[in-house]
Amino acid sequence: MNANGLLSKLSGLGVPNEVVERYQEPHRFYHTLDHVQDIYQQLEEKGLADHQALLLATAYHDVIYNPQSSTNEEDSAQYFIQYYEGDSQLKQEVYDIILDTKTHQPRSELSAVFCDLDLNILRQPLHKLLVY
């Protein structure tokens, strides 16, 4: 799926354009829309492209990014809780996944899946990592 298809899917879940715009901030080098697209592509390959919690975690896990902050994950999780309107159980699940990306020590099976996707680029050959 191309970036426009991903954006359409996120919009269908109620993810506002502001979230997408944050991934295009000029101070970002890794936590960009390309990173979000990479995670989504992996979800597609695993047959998980329609899993709401994983899609929302994809969209929100790095929504707040300040390279000088040590609380980006907590801030992103809080942003999600504050602005996303949805089922409380789903919100808690996504919140927990986002927090787990800080240490990449998952507390649930779903979080383990997401943490693995989030770190995928670090397992790629050096030439691909350098391009990324």
Residue 15 φ/ψ region, left for φ over 0, alpha for ψ in the -120 to 50 degree band, beta for the rest: beta
The sign of the dihedral angle between the CA atoms of 116, 132, 76, 42 is negative
3-state secondary structure of 127: helix
What does residue 62 show for φ and ψ, rounded to 5 degrees? -125, 25
pTM (2 decimals)? 0.90
Top pLDDT among 36 and 3 is at: 36
Say what the pLDDT of residue 40 is: 94
The sign of the dihedral angle between the CA atoms of 39, 57, 101, 31 is positive
Q: Which domain holds residue 89?
A: 3-131
pLDDT category of residue 1 using cuts at 50, 70 and 90? very low
Looking at the structure of the chain, the number of domains it has is 1
Say what the pLDDT of residue 3 is: 66
Using one digit for the tens of pLDDT, what is the confidence trace for 75-123?
999 999 999 998 999 999 999 999 999 999 999 999 999 999 998 876 7
pLDDT category of residue 42 using cuts at 50, 70 and 90? very high
